[in-house]
């Protein structure tokens, strides 16, 4: 088991350090090697996804990533922004299937801004297509047309790109409550009309899964109105970016949510759903649980080690039950801890 570790920027190094300790403690004989991705890579090499990182990531079975980005690099030309490194590694490794679970831990029910009865027991999975759509479509750019600046991006999908992500979503639904909601904007966008057509066709291969369709604006509304109507949601790259942030906040704390980005052979990149949080970087207060839970997803999806994945998840549940809380999920009466102490608590629970 070869794992490429990319701590990244901001709180990335702090939270990844805890996840690495947890992985090490499981004694699975993993080989871990670190490399640069994001702003730190731009600073060191001028490239957010340097050659050396590419080699390591391509040779590894899985990649563990902290987070990339920060105000320091926001004014860089696009090719030298941390985000370009992230998009580059997703595209190069063919990580088209992004799984973003949103689970509300009962211990954290008060962390949500929604009424407890709306979110209690929430367990949904957003399946986001990750290597196509307007994110990667050509032509793109800002140019002069008729004496004024003109901004251009292109949304496109091939039917095979749509079919393969739909299959991932149907398979995931089969392992859950057998309900899949496909989200599009077919009333306006041809590209997503094709999405719906292919979703319906693919659905014929999965008669045991109940397929529904929803327009993205309505989906955004339904997610806050009645989120528990959803089991698995599948959508394109752009809509998935937005809806997955919304879904994560139903749980009150984006600091708890892991994610997996998989290729066709279950090679994967695992990262917390949250960003690099530059405002709290270096202070030792960030919540490492999303990254630790990302390691559990890695063990489940890439290494097919359900037992080890379950051990990590059980340990996280236990530390929550014991009252350990980082600042983002803190409530009066609980034990406030920093990044390292939270890591210690998980290790003890393991
Ligand atoms: C995410 C992030 C990225 C995305 C950014 C950082 C490029 O928002 O993983 O959701 O838009 O995909
Ligand atoms: Mg996003």
What phi, psi does 226 have (nearest 5°)?
-150, 70
Residues 156 and 63 in one domain: no
Ligand 1 pocket: which of 127, 241, 244 to mutate (most atoms within 8 A of CB): 241
CATH number at residue 128: 3.40.718.10
Report the atom number in ligand 1 closest to the C-alpha of 69. 6
Q: What is the mean pLDDT of residues 98-105?
A: 94
pLDDT for 109 equals 83
**Percent of the chain predicted with pLDDT > 90:** 94
| pTM for the full predicted model | 0.95
pLDDT for 269 equals 98
Minimum CA distance residue for ligand 1 atom 2:
241
In angstroms, what is the span from residue 120 Cα to ligand 1's centroid?
Answer: 27
How confident is residue 19, by pLDDT bands cut at 50, 70 and 90? very high
- Which residue range is the domain that position 294 belongs to? 1-96+263-350
Residues 79 and 188 in one domain: no
CA angle 98, 101, 102 (to 5 degrees): 140
Residues 198 and 125 in one domain: yes
The answer as to whether 299 is a domain residue is yes
Mean pLDDT of the chain: 96
Report the chain's terminal Cα–Cα distance, integer Å. Answer: 21
Q: How far apart are CA 79 and CA 66, in angstroms?
A: 20
* Residue 110 clears pLDDT 90, i.e. is over it: no
Number of domains in the chain: 2
Residue 192: CA count within 13 A, CB half-sphere: 23
The answer as to whether 154 is a domain residue is yes
Minimum CA distance residue for ligand 1 atom 11:
241
pLDDT for 102 equals 95
Residues 121 and 243 in one domain: yes
SS3 label, residue 97: strand
* Residue 37 clears pLDDT 90, i.e. is over it: yes
- What is the number of other CB atoms lying within 10 angstroms of the CB of residue 189? 14
Q: Per-residue DSSP letters for 237-251?
A: HHHHHHHHHHHHHHT
Which element (helix H / strand E) includes 258? strand 258-262
Which element (helix H / strand E) includes 102? strand 97-103
Query: Is 135 a known active-site residue?
Result: yes
* Residue 184 clears pLDDT 90, i.e. is over it: yes
Cα dihedral 282→286→288→289 (10° resolution): 180
Residue 86: CB within 6 Å of ligand 1?
yes
- Domain boundary (253, 287, 312) is at 253
- Domain boundary (225, 253, 281) is at 253
In angstroms, what is the span from residue 242 Cα to ligand 2's centroid?
Answer: 6
In angstroms, what is the span from residue 12 Cα to ligand 2's centroid?
Answer: 16
In angstroms, what is the span from residue 259 Cα to ligand 2's centroid?
Answer: 11
Residues 110 and 249 in one domain: yes
Residues 63 and 174 in one domain: no
Residues 56 and 117 in one domain: no
How confident is residue 272, by pLDDT bands cut at 50, 70 and 90? very high
Q: What is the mean pLDDT of residues 40-46?
A: 98
Residue 241: CB within 6 Å of ligand 1?
yes
Tokens matching residue 166? 């739909």
Residues 225 and 337 in one domain: no
Q: How far apart are CA 75 and CA 157, in angstroms?
A: 30
Residue 246: CB within 6 Å of ligand 1?
no
In angstroms, what is the span from residue 178 Cα to ligand 2's centroid?
Answer: 26
Query: Is 217 a known active-site residue?
Result: yes
The answer as to whether 349 is a domain residue is yes
* Residue 111 clears pLDDT 90, i.e. is over it: no
Q: What is the mean pLDDT of residues 8-13?
A: 98
pLDDT for 252 equals 81
Condensed to tens digits (0 to 9), the pLDDT of residues 248-268 reads: 889 888 889 999 999 999 999
pLDDT for 255 equals 87
Condensed to tens digits (0 to 9), the pLDDT of residues 62-76 reads: 999 999 999 999 999
Minimum CA distance residue for ligand 1 atom 12:
241
Exactly one of 43, 217, 225, 283 is catalytic; name it. 217
Residues 216 and 115 in one domain: yes
pLDDT for 309 equals 97
Minimum CA distance residue for ligand 1 atom 4:
241
Give the number of the ligand closest to the Cα of residue 67: 1
In angstroms, what is the span from residue 51 Cα to ligand 1's centroid?
Answer: 22
Query: Residue 265: CB partners within 8 Å, gap ≥ 6?
Result: none
Helix axes 237-250, 216-225, angle to 10 degrees: 10
CA-based torsion, 183, 161, 248, 211: positive or negative: positive
Report the atom number in ligand 1 closest to the C-alpha of 271. 9
For residues 197 and 105, the model is more confident at 197
What phi, psi does 256 have (nearest 5°)?
-105, -5
pLDDT for 188 equals 98
* Residue 92 clears pLDDT 90, i.e. is over it: yes
Q: What is the mean pLDDT of residues 3-13?
A: 98
pLDDT for 338 equals 98
Report the atom number in ligand 1 closest to the C-alpha of 68. 6
Whether residue 151 contacts residue 142, with contact meaning beta carbons closer than 8 Å, is answered with yes
Residues 219 and 176 in one domain: yes
The answer as to whether 258 is a domain residue is no
SS3 label, residue 169: helix
């Amino acid at each position: 088991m070869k794992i490429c570790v990319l701590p990244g920027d901001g709180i990335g190094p702090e939270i990844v350090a805890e996840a690495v300790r947890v992985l090490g403690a499981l004694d699975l004989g993993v080989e871990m090697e670190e490399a640069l991705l994001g702003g730190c890579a731009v600073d060191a090499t001028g490239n957010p996804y340097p050659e050396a990182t590419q080699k390591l990531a391509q040779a590894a079975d899985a990649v563990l990533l902290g987070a990339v980005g920060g105000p320091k690099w926001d004014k860089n030309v696009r090719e030298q922004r941390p985000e370009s490194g992230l998009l580059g590694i997703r595209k190069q490794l063919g990580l088209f299937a992004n799984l973003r679970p949103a689970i509300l831990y009962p211990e954290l029910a008060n962390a949500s801004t929604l009424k407890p009865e709306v979110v209690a027991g929430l367990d949904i999975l957003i399946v986001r297509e990750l290597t196509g759509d307007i994110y990667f479509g050509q032509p793109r750019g800002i140019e002069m047309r008729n004496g004024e600046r003109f901004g251009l991006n292109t949304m496109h999908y091939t039917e095979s790109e749509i079919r393969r992500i739909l299959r991932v979503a149907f398979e995931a639904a089969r392992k859950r409550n057998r309900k899949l909601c496909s989200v599009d904007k077919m009333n306006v966008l041809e590209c997503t009309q094709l999405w719906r057509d292919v979703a319906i066709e693919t659905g014929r291969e999965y008669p045991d899964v109940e397929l529904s369709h929803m327009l993205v604006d309505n989906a955004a509304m339904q997610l806050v109105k009645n989120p528990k109507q959803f089991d698995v949601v599948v959508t394109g790259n752009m809509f998935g970016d937005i809806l997955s942030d919304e879904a994560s906040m139903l749980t009150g704390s984006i600091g708890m949510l892991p994610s997996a980005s998989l290729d066709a052979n279950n090679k994967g990149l695992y990262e917390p759903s949250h960003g690099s949080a530059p405002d709290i970087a270096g202070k030792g207060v960030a919540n490492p649980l999303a990254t630790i839970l990302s390691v559990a997803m890695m063990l489940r999806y890439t290494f097919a080690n359900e037992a080890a994945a379950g051990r990590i998840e059980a340990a996280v549940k236990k530390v929550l039950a014991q009252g350990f809380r980082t600042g983002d999920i803190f409530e009066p009466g609980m034990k406030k801890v920093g990044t390292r102490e939270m890591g210690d608590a998980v290790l003890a629970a393991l």
